[in-house]
Homo-oligomer: A and B are copies of this chain.
Amino acid sequence: MMGNLADSMEYYLKKLLALSASGFLEIKRKELAGKFNCVPSQVNYVMATRFTLDKGYLVESRRGGKGYLRIRKVNTDGWELPGGILEELQQGLANNGKAVGIIERLREGKYISVRESRLMEAALQCISGLKNEQLKDDLRVLLMRRMIEALFY
């Protein structure tokens, strides 16, 4: 049915996730690899290509004894994913308020922590004093894009 390993692993995990009452799925990398008869790093490949933030999944992990991979579908009702936000950035940010709005949405959606949001707002504020309007606007967009990329890609 599924041609390749990555696809069937994706299918398998999404089915389990859908069935899970807790809203997230916790697995052991090695076990999963064992079940699919592949090397553990194959699991990382599937995470990296199928369970990205863009696609609405958040993967957390922990190493060491009793380590795990935890996959959760993030709730994106009513507001954009980071991907959508990038498009917004593509079109430029008319003003500082718009950038701050994006930061707030990220924080409310738990994509970033409160500390991270404060960091981003501080960086933004630094350029708000520039005289050259063109430079200011360009830097604002660049800053937002780079910072978001730093976090999500």
Chain A residues within 8 Å of B, Cβ to Cβ: 3-4, 7, 64-66, 68, 113, 115-116, 118-123, 125-127, 139, 142-143, 146-147, 149-151
Contact A126 B143 (CB under 8 A): yes
Contact A118 B3 (CB under 8 A): no
Contact A118 B65 (CB under 8 A): no
Contacts of A113 in B (CB 8 A): 115
Which residue of B3, B64, B115, B123 is within 8 Å of A123 (Cβ)?
Answer: B123
Given contacts A126-B146, A139-B127, contact A151 B66 (CB under 8 A): no
Q: Which residue of B lies closest to A3 (CB)?
A: B66
Contacts of A118 in B (CB 8 A): 150-151
CB distance from A144 to the nearest CB of B (A): 9
Contact A151 B3 (CB under 8 A): no
Contact B122 A147 (CB under 8 A): yes
Contacts of A119 in B (CB 8 A): 116, 119-120, 123, 147, 150-151
Q: CA separation between A151 and B114, bound complex, in Å?
A: 10
Q: Which residue of B lies closest to A118 (CB)?
A: B150
Contact B126 A149 (CB under 8 A): no
Known interface pairs A115-B151, A119-B151; 10 further A-B residue pairs with C-beta atoms within 8 A, sorted by A's residue number: A3-B66, A4-B64, A4-B65, A7-B66, A116-B116, A116-B119, A119-B147, A122-B149, A123-B143, A127-B139
